[in-house]
Chain A
Amino acid sequence: GESVGLHLPTLSVQEGDNSIINCAYSNSASDYFIWYKQESGKGPQFIIDIRSNMDKRQGQRVTVLLNKTVKHLSLQIAATQPGDSAVYFCAENINGNKLVFGAGTILRVKS
């Protein structure tokens, strides 16, 4: 369950359905973006990345879309599985030395 202070948006999906997690980034000069997955008690785990000269990139069951016009990033997960349940963060690269993370979205997969 949620703890006091945990006010992340939550996406609930049925097992087997597709999931779409959205993220708005802040800096129009950002040139590199990453999606991370974080399970309880663990550090963030890399999912997929995309550079600003691309609009779309596909991995295994995941696709990242980048819309620079509106500074929007999305992560699509195909055939969502219970193991996909986690908090998902987008991160943008600023000045090459650090990543700035978004607030995160909780994904809950219902069996």
Chain B
Amino acid sequence: GAGVSQSPRYKVAKRGQDVALRCDPISGHVSLFWYQQALGQGPEFLTYFQNEAQLDKSGLPSDRFFAERPEGSVSTLKIQRTQQEDSAVYLCASSGQLRTGRGKLFFGSGTQLSVL
């Protein structure tokens, strides 16, 4: 596709439910990032993939958060046993460069997660 695509656009979950958020990066982009954006704040880094390898997951807030990119293209962010503090917009970004220092990130429109 022409840009980064994320689905679903909106997700409402009851506390304790598991959710899966999907990201389709720009075709051919080797780097993929997940960010979490709370209302009124800047995006916060969650995790980074280079192709299928998850090279940095230092931003994942707890072991309830899990991300994968098994074939080096589509990525899924899974949140288990959702809690109200997980409510946020989850942004996916991709880059054609191996490191962010050599290229800009292209962001999707995000998935807005609301945990009730």
Contacts and interface: CB of A to CB of B under 8 A. Distances in A.
Q: Tell whether A pairs with B.
A: yes
Interface of A: 3, 5-8, 31-32, 34, 36, 41-46, 49, 89, 91, 93, 96-104
Instruction: Name the interface size band of chain B.
Output: 20 to 34
B25 interface: no
20 contacts: A3-B39, A5-B39, A6-B39, A31-B101, A36-B107, A43-B108, A46-B104, A46-B106, A89-B42, A93-B101, A96-B99, A97-B48, A97-B56, A97-B99, A97-B100, A98-B33, A99-B45, A99-B100, A99-B105, A103-B42
B83 to A, nearest CB: 17
A31 B35 CA distance: 21
B18 interface: no
A5 B40 contact: yes
Contacts of A7: 40
Contacts of A36: 107
B109 A3 contact: no
Given A42-B109, A43-B109, A97-B55, A49 B104 contact: yes
B91 interface: yes
Nearest to A100: B45
Nearest to A30: B101
Question: Can you list the 8 inter-chain pairs with the closest CB atoms, starting with the nearest?
Answer: A43-B107, A101-B42, A6-B40, A96-B99, A98-B45, A46-B104, A32-B101, A96-B101
